[in-house]
Amino acid sequence: MSKQPRTGGARCPVAAIIAAGAMLLAGAGFPGGAALAQDGDSGVIAGRVTADHGEVRALRVKAHDTVHRIAYTVYTVDGGYHIYNLPPSTYDVSVIEEAFESPTATVEVRAGEATTVDIALTALGAGPEEGAAARGASAQRNYGGGAADGRAAEIVDFDTLYPPHPARDIMLRGCFGCHGPAGFHRRGPRNENGWRQAVDRMFDVDGRVANMAPGVPQVTHDLVSVEEKELIIQYLTSLFGPGSEPRDLELDPLVRDEEALSEAVYIEYELNRGPQRLLANGAPPRGSIHSVFASLAEPGVIWVSGNGSNSIIRMDSREPDFEARTDELWIENPGNINVTPHGIVEHRGRVYWVELTGDHFGELDPATGEMTRYPMPTKGAGPHSVWVDSRGQFWYTYFASAGRIGRFDLDANDFTEWEPLAGFSGYGIVVDRQDRVWAVGLHTPAIFMYNQETAAWRSYPMANPARRPAIDSDGKVWAAHYFGNAISRIDPATGTVTEFELPLKDGNPYDVWPDADDNLWVENGIYNSLVRFDQETGDFTYFPFPELRAHTPKLDRDREGTLWFTLRGPSGGPGVAALKPNGNVPPAGEAAGQ
């Protein structure tokens, strides 16, 4: 493991690193929401970043508004930075990088003025090299994942870590699509009985994988036979049994593109969660949050599924007041359990979700706060993702191997389910403009399409299973391979499937979502980045997250082109974040160098 970062840990005298100056700014706009600033009401923080050792290349500079509890993160260019369009407030300013220790400066930003903050970094030196499993485990802690194994590990390539073997072939087909490249090697060492218990849990109807209710296993013998399961147990025991030395998967260095990142700004909103109610077991729920949906009915509002908090959250990015920005609505249920709301959408001003544990489809009327929950027909299968077609019908997947994809007709209060493949474990789902339904599964190297006009299913083979699909403006369908380090493009007109491998090896693309220019944005937690893929040039650009060891499971885009997602925030708790790839620009009439 590398040395733990101490960014922001030292608070230096303000006078030692700040020089204040005034600059009149015309036409300023607040990057977090148009309603929060008027012309001339914003300011700028700018300066230079230096280091006693190491390269200052596209380093992250964060200005945390301690009053409104909103943070803005930009990248340095040639050692300098500007954070434009900041509302007047008090800010803590620091650099967020693992390799450097940064001082924190506290400054006041005034309307129409620029404040200069120069930051001198101390290089921490290179620690032990870190691999994919350690980075992946740490990244997913922000929404409930486990901690990374803290042992120093030998860094090796995939074939050394998982030597070719018939068991590996089975795992590539049925296991790595869910577990990803961080997979199994840091879950040991275990003896044969330990590995047997771990593998058997996947086939247990009461395995409670992802906190699902009992009823359906995560893997069935339609996918992995009893004999194949035994082969996996023996293979894992031979590699990661008692006395085995810790190993991890090697990664490539990430070289940041300063020009491509020069106008980007991440904006993080802390959530005012308030007191937590107790569940039936007497404990408060975990505070983790999962998916987001950018409201169409209320621009600026982001709906969030509180998968760890048994709640639906409304976050208004236009509201500067931290106390008033967040509304959290508890999901009442007879057992008073955490029903684990997961996939979430808005349709005609109402909010809908599916419950991974609660086995219900939920509806919220924001005008009244009234919730209605509809029992789903298959129990214990983990309703996972949901999308809505133009007819107002909701399509959903089951996370466990129920083999089913379903449709809920809200007006008729009627569920219909299909079984496109025995043992199918559904994940992401979307609907295109022709009302064709596209779904992917954790164990199936294909994407399924259901044509509502012909009532026919079709399968498009891919190299690996995928987690999330998306559709661009041209009607092309995209899917992210959590194992395989690639995204796929499916052309419905020709049936052609094209795969694009990400340039940094052994990544774990989780979600993929198009922007207004049909660039594809790919979540890649192992490299702590959102990655932009330009279809026209074939270029991939990595935008490091504003927090260290970050991850988000779902992206959405609003009408203004801002990407939204959940993220562990600057104060350590769950928050909602946005990326504006071209949002950090000077106000109209001002030169970028001022």
CATH number of the domain bearing residue 545: 2.130.10.10
**pLDDT at 26 (0 to 100):** 30
- For residue 455, pLDDT over 50 is answered with yes
Nearest to 443, CA basis, from 462, 418, 471, 416: 462
What does the DSSP assignment read for 171-191?
A: HHHHTHHHH-TTTTTTS----
Which range among 125-134, 276-285, 367-376 shows the weakest confidence by mean pLDDT?
Answer: 125-134
Map tokens 């369009």 to a residue.
85
Q: Within 10 A of 81 (CB to CB), how many other CB atoms are there?
A: 25
379 within a domain of the structure (yes/no): yes
> Phi/psi class of residue 275: alpha, beta or left (left: φ > 0; alpha: ψ in -120 to 50)?
beta
From CA 532, how far away is CA 530, in angstroms rounded?
7
Dihedral sign (CA 35, 40, 42, 48): positive
Clarify whether residues 453 and 551 are in a common domain: yes
Angle at 69 between CA 366 and CA 66, to 5 degrees: 160
Of the three residues 249, 283, 318, the one that is the final residue of a domain is: 249
Q: Return the structure tokens found at 536.
A: 């026209």
Of the three residues 90, 123, 156, the one that is the final residue of a domain is: 123
Clarify whether residues 218 and 313 are in a common domain: no
From CA 276, how far away is CA 206, in angstroms rounded?
28
Pairing outcome for strands 103-109 and 89-95? antiparallel
Clarify whether residues 118 and 228 are in a common domain: no
Q: Return the structure tokens found at 274.
A: 């308030």
Segment 294-298 mean pLDDT: 97
Helix ranges restricted to H, 187-264: 192-203, 226-240, 258-261
265 within a domain of the structure (yes/no): no
From CA 287, how far away is CA 518, in angstroms rounded?
34
Share of the chain above pLDDT 70, in %: 90
Average pLDDT of the chain to the nearest whole number:
90
Segment 318-325 mean pLDDT: 97
Q: Which SS3 state, helix, strand or coil, does residue 386 take?
A: strand
258 within a domain of the structure (yes/no): no
Q: Within 10 A of 408 (CB to CB), how many other CB atoms are there?
A: 22
Of the three residues 123, 149, 174, the one that is the final residue of a domain is: 123
Clarify whether residues 358 and 230 are in a common domain: no
Clarify whether residues 433 and 450 are in a common domain: yes
From CA 199, how far away is CA 188, in angstroms rounded?
13
Clarify whether residues 413 and 439 are in a common domain: yes
Clarify whether residues 75 and 212 are in a common domain: no
Q: Return the structure tokens found at 134.
A: 């350690």
Clarify whether residues 99 and 180 are in a common domain: no
506 within a domain of the structure (yes/no): yes
From CA 39, how far away is CA 25, in angstroms rounded?
8
Clarify whether residues 44 and 116 are in a common domain: yes
- For residue 12, pLDDT over 90 is answered with no
285 within a domain of the structure (yes/no): no
What pLDDT, in 10s, does the model give residues 469-493? 999 999 999 999 999 999 999 999 9
565 within a domain of the structure (yes/no): yes
**pLDDT at 142 (0 to 100):** 57
From CA 553, how far away is CA 307, in angstroms rounded?
12
What pLDDT, in 10s, does the model give residues 21-61? 333 333 333 344 333 343 469 999 999 999 999 999 999 99
Clarify whether residues 181 and 43 are in a common domain: no
**pLDDT at 540 (0 to 100):** 98
The answer to whether the beta carbons of residues 586 and 265 sit under 8 Å apart is: no
Is-cis flag, bond preceding 13, omega within 30? no
pLDDT band at 570 (very low <50, low <70, confident <90, very high): confident
What does the DSSP assignment read for 462-504?
A: -SS--SEEEE-TTS-EEEEETTTTEEEEEETTTTEEEEEE-SS
Clarify whether residues 438 and 322 are in a common domain: yes
What pLDDT, in 10s, does the model give residues 86-137? 999 999 999 999 999 999 999 999 999 999 999 999 999 877 788 888 887 7
Nearest to 583, CA basis, from 29, 12, 25: 29
587 within a domain of the structure (yes/no): no
- Range(s) of the domain holding residue 18: 10-123
Clarify whether residues 415 and 522 are in a common domain: yes
512 within a domain of the structure (yes/no): yes
Q: Within 10 A of 26 (CB to CB), how many other CB atoms are there?
A: 11
Q: Return the structure tokens found at 324.
A: 């008033």
pLDDT band at 7 (very low <50, low <70, confident <90, very high): very low
Q: For residue 470, which phi and psi values (nearest 5 degrees)? A: -150, 165
Nearest to 101, CA basis, from 1, 6, 4: 6
What pLDDT, in 10s, does the model give residues 372-386? 999 999 999 999 999
Q: Which amino acid is at 175?
A: C
**pLDDT at 126 (0 to 100):** 76
Segment 222-249 mean pLDDT: 95
**Of all helices (H) and strands (E), which one includes residue 159?**
helix 158-161
Q: Return the structure tokens found at 212.
A: 């699902």
